[in-house]
């Protein structure tokens, strides 16, 4: 009898994980509403020109792993700092810790494809960002942070706040 090959490529491994999340994850609504631009990175005049009301909408599929940590796939579109649409598609993993019977916190990272009109002519590019959350298993206040990538002021240092509400 021929031995079955259990080695899978990294592509197959992550594709299977995404399909599993899509097929079996809990459907959630994501609502964005605020992007805080670092006051030490941007001048008051520049902040007055930027959009900090980053309204947006998205959906995710969320599952708990065997360690009760959370992983999700998502798609979301928000109004970026320049009032332009910013679509995002990604995967997030958070290590969760209960604070009480119902309340928990999470911290982790997201890998995503993002499209912005001010970078690469709107062509999607990859990013990895830290994420955190506080709430229940079924609804959370979440945050993603875009760090400052250079010593130049006016680039990065943005905290995006959004909520995730389970629909199932």
Q: Is 81 a catalytic residue?
A: yes
Rounded to 5°, the CA angle 152-113-163 comes to: 90
Catalytic residue among 32, 60, 80, 133: 80
Catalytic residue among 72, 81, 115, 133: 81
Catalytic residue among 28, 37, 72, 133: 37
Return the structure tokens found at 137: 């298993």
Q: Is 138 a catalytic residue?
A: no
Query: Could you tell me the CA-to-CA distances from 132 to 5, 34, 140 in Å, in that order?
Result: 38, 15, 10
What residues contact 66, with CB distance under 8 A and at least 6 apart?
none
Count of CB atoms situated within 10 Å of the CB of 4: 5
Return the structure tokens found at 109: 């990272």
DSSP state letter for 150: S
Return the structure tokens found at 13: 């491994």
Length of the chain: 168
Q: Is 100 a catalytic residue?
A: no
User: Mind telling me the catalytic residues?
Assistant: 37, 80-81
């Amino acid at each position: 009898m021929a031995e079955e090959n259990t080695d899978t490529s990294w592509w197959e491994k992550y594709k299977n994980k995404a399909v599993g999340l899509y097929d079996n994850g809990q459907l959630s609504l994501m609502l964005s509403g605020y992007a805080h631009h670092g006051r030490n990175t941007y001048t008051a005049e520049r902040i007055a020109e930027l959009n900090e009301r980053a309204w947006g909408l998205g959906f995710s599929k969320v599952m708990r792993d065997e360690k009760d940590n959370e992983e999700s796939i998502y798609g979301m579109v928000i109004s970026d700092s320049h009032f332009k649409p910013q679509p995002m598609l990604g995967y997030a993993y958070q290590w969760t810790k209960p604070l009480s019977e119902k309340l928990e916190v999470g911290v982790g990272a997201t890998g995503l494809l993002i499209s912005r009109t001010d970078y690469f002519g709107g062509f999607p590019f990859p990013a990895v960002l830290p994420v955190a959350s506080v709430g229940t298993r079924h609804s959370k206040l979440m945050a993603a942070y875009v760090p400052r990538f250079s010593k130049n002021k006016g680039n990065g240092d943005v905290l995006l706040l959004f909520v995730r509400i389970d629909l199932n």
